[in-house]
């Protein structure tokens, strides 16, 4: 998905920029980048972070960087920030975007023969550069950002580092969050509010969908008011987001507790203890254990010293290997036990299947699984959701394919959790995973655990509901 952090201050901003960006490391796997503005112009560094953490890659660079405003990004695909020379002046840009009409926009740009793209080093047109060409069509940064927001299909949140200050813009339907923080003499904009507390920032406010603001060290100036429609990604609370963060003022960990509690309220499993598949399953499991009164245990412990959550290589085989190496089972806690695991979701299910097999190998008597959201049957087309490349890889879709014997089936028939088809799909997944039992969260329980009206949330992955105007 990716994440960004920007700051503008009366003092040097580099330490805040460095650590603030680093707190977005769980959101991206490919590139990290920082840009700062000073009297010499814009200084920039970009590194490949596929095999090394962001912090270790930039430790040397930041000693040479100085400036009072800057932007940083953790990116799933493209190299960023880009430095753009335009009629608006020289500026730096980062985006958290999934530009689904990228080819069409590029073709449109080539129609104007004066336009070219120069950021081709990632073996394709850089989406952030395309967004910059849209911004450059405006008579001002405000107008240019509005053009980009109206033109991009998918989602596109933006930070611009300019002579006028720092522009922060949330994508038109607010699928991704942008939060503004403040401390004495400085303002910051981020995707993750968890980047603020240890840097001394207080949350000032959450930008609304499509809202644009300009930050200066002294304040936050409104540029474009928020739109009325919102489709924030519900999966942020289930899986993507960091537990200490809030979106729309709603904390991730608290939602996970409530998800676990909702699962327990509809369950009657007779087990010895509850466990979470680390990391994101942990909050759900604590909620389940609290509600059910069944003890919470950690039969799997994550080896955090060298396998942090942020290390998620793009290559699926390597990711599966990393996932296996990270989690270490404890035989004495597992042997002869009936264990109920809470998990954020079952996306493809391959890593989870390995984890379940290991639990059985270590002597578990029963393994029950309770995902905190319904089965995923529609591939995300609004964010760069790197956990699944193809819709047919999704565990729910694979099960439907097995049942129906063909891919050209409307998965909508399988969505109703009270239908026989849904039960058959879940049973297929249960058998493939080798589980004693499998029960998914109901969508209405997930929505109520988040606490926003359903029509303010994107729930497309589970029910295929989409806003006509995306
Ligand atoms: S489709 Fe799923 S992952 Fe994508 S924005 Fe919607 S809820 Fe989030």
Q: Is the CB of 443 under 6 A from ligand 1?
A: no
- For the CA of 379, the nearest atom of ligand 1: 1
- For the CA of 457, the nearest atom of ligand 1: 7
Ligand 1 pocket: which of 234, 344, 374, 415 to mutate (most atoms within 8 A of CB): 234
Look at the block and give the residue holding tokens 């850089």. Answer: 126
Q: Are 169 and 158 in contact (CB under 8 A)?
A: yes
Instruction: Give per-residue pLDDT as tens, 357-389.
Output: 999 999 999 999 999 999 999 999 899 775 456
CA distance 469 to 154: 10
Over residues 133-144, mean pLDDT: 96
Name the residue at shortest CA distance from atom 5 of ligand 1: 233
CA of 233 to the centre of ligand 1 (A): 5
Ligand 1 pocket: which of 100, 156, 233 to mutate (most atoms within 8 A of CB): 233
Instruction: Give per-residue pLDDT as tens, 37-75.
Output: 999 999 999 999 988 889 999 999 999 999 999 999 999
Q: Is the CB of 380 under 6 A from ligand 1?
A: yes
Give the max Cα distance, the chain.
70
Two tokens, residue 400: 């439907």
Residues sharing a CB contact under 8 Å with residue 258, sequence separation 6 or more, in sequence order: 287, 448, 449, 451
- For the CA of 240, the nearest atom of ligand 1: 3
Per-residue three-class SS string for the chain: CCEEEEEEECCCCHHHHHHHHHCCHHHCCCEEEEEEEECCEEEEEEEECCCCCHHHHHCCHHHHCCCCEEEEEEECCCCCCEEEEECCEEEEEEEEEEECCHHHHHHHHHHCCCCCCCCCCCCCCCHHHHHHHHHCCCCCHHHHHHHHHHHCCEEEEEEEEECCEEEEECCCCCCCCCEEEEECCEEEEECCHHHCHHHCCEEEEECCCCCEEEECCCCEEEEECCCCCCCEECHHHHHHCCCCCEECCEEHHHHHHHHHHHHHHCCCCCCCEEEECCCHHHHHHHHHHHHHCCCECCCEEECCCCCCCCCCCCCHHHHHHHHHHHEEECHHHHCCCEEEEEECCCCCCHHHHHHHHHHHHCCCCEEEEEECCCCCCCCCCCCCCCCCCCHHHCHHHHHHHHHHCCCCCCHHHHCCCCCHHHHHHHHHHHHHHCCCEECCCCHHHHHHHHCCCHHHEECHHHHCCCCCCC
What is the per-residue pLDDT for 387?
Answer: 47
CA of 338 to the centre of ligand 1 (A): 33
CA of 380 to the centre of ligand 1 (A): 5
CA of 171 to the centre of ligand 1 (A): 14
Q: Is the CB of 175 under 6 A from ligand 1?
A: yes
Look at the block and give the residue holding tokens 């919470």. Answer: 296
Two tokens, residue 259: 């998800």
Q: Is the CB of 385 under 6 A from ligand 1?
A: yes
Strand partners, 343: 371
What is the per-residue pLDDT for 109?
Answer: 82
Q: Is the CB of 233 under 6 A from ligand 1?
A: yes
CA of 382 to the centre of ligand 1 (A): 6
What is the per-residue pLDDT for 189?
Answer: 98
Q: In the Cβ-directed half-sphere of 367, how many Cα atoms lie within 13 Å?
A: 24
- For the CA of 236, the nearest atom of ligand 1: 8
Catalogue all structural domains in the chain, each as residue range(s) with its CATH number.
3-230 (3.60.20.10), 250-463 (3.40.50.2020)
Name the residue at shortest CA distance from atom 4 of ligand 1: 380
Instruction: Give per-residue pLDDT as tens, 150-160.
Output: 999 999 999 99
What is the per-residue pLDDT for 44?
Answer: 97
What is the per-residue pLDDT for 22?
Answer: 97
Phi, psi of 344 (to 5 degrees): -60, -45
CA of 234 to the centre of ligand 1 (A): 7
What is the per-residue pLDDT for 354?
Answer: 87
Instruction: Give per-residue pLDDT as tens, 396-433.
Output: 999 999 999 988 888 888 999 999 999 999 999 999 99
- For the CA of 233, the nearest atom of ligand 1: 8
């Amino acid at each position: 998905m990716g994440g960004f952090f920007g700051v503008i201050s009366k003092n040097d901003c580099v330490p805040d920029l460095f650590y603030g960006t680093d707190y977005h490391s769980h959101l991206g796997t490919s590139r990290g980048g920082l840009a700062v503005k000073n009297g010499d112009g814009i200084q920039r560094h970009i590194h490949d972070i596929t095999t090394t953490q962001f912090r270790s890659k930039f430790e040397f660079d930041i000693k040479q960087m100085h400036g009072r405003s800057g932007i940083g990004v953790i990116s799933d695909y493209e190299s960023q920030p880009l430095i753009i020379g335009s009629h608006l002046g020289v500026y730096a840009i980062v985006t958290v975007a999934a530009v689904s009409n990228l080819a069409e926009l590029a073709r449109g740009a080539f129609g104007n023969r004066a336009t070219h793209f120069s950021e081709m080093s990632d073996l394709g047109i850089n989406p952030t550069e395309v967004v910059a060409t849209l911004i450059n069509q405006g008579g001002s940064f405000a107008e240019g950002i509005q053009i980009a927001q109206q033109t991009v299909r998918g989602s596109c949140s933006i930070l611009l580092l300019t002579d006028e200050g720092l522009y922060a813009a949330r994508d038109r339907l607010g699928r991704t969050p942008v939060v503004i923080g403040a401390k004495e003499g400085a303002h910051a904009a981020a995707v993750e509010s968890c980047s603020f507390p240890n840097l001394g920032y207080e949350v000032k406010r959450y930008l609304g969908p499509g809202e644009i603001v300009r930050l200066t060290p002294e304040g936050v100036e409104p540029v474009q008011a928020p739109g009325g429609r919102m489709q924030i990604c519900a999966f942020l609370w289930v899986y993507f987001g960091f537990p200490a963060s809030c979106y729309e003022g709603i904390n991730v960990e608290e939602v996970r507790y409530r998800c676990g509690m909702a699962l327990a309220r509809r369950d009657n499993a007779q087990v010895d203890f509850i466990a979470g598949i680390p990391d994101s399953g942990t909050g759900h499991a604590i909620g389940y254990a609290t509600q059910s009164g069944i003890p919470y245990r950690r039969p799997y412990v994550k080896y955090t010293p060298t396998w942090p959550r942020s290390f998620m290589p793009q290559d699926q085989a390597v990711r599966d290997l990393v996932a296996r190496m990270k989690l270490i089972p404890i035989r004495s806690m597992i042997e002869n036990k009936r264990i109920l695991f809470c998990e954020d979701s079952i996306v493809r299910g391959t890593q989870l299947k390995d984890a379940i097999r290991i639990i059985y190998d270590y002597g578990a008597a029963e393994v029950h699984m309770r995902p905190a959201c319904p089965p995923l049957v529609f591939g995300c087309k609004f964010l760069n959701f790197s956990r699944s490349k193809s819709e047919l890889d999704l565990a729910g879709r694979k099960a439907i394919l097995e049942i129906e014997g063909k891919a050209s089936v409307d998965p909508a028939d399988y969505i109703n959790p009270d239908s026989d088809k849904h039960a058959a799909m879940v049973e297929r997944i249960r058998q493939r995973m080798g589980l004693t039992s499998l029960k998914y969260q109901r969508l209405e329980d997930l929505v109520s655990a988040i606490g926003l009206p359903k029509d303010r949330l994107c729930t497309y992955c589970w029910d295929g509901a989409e806003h006509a105007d995306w």
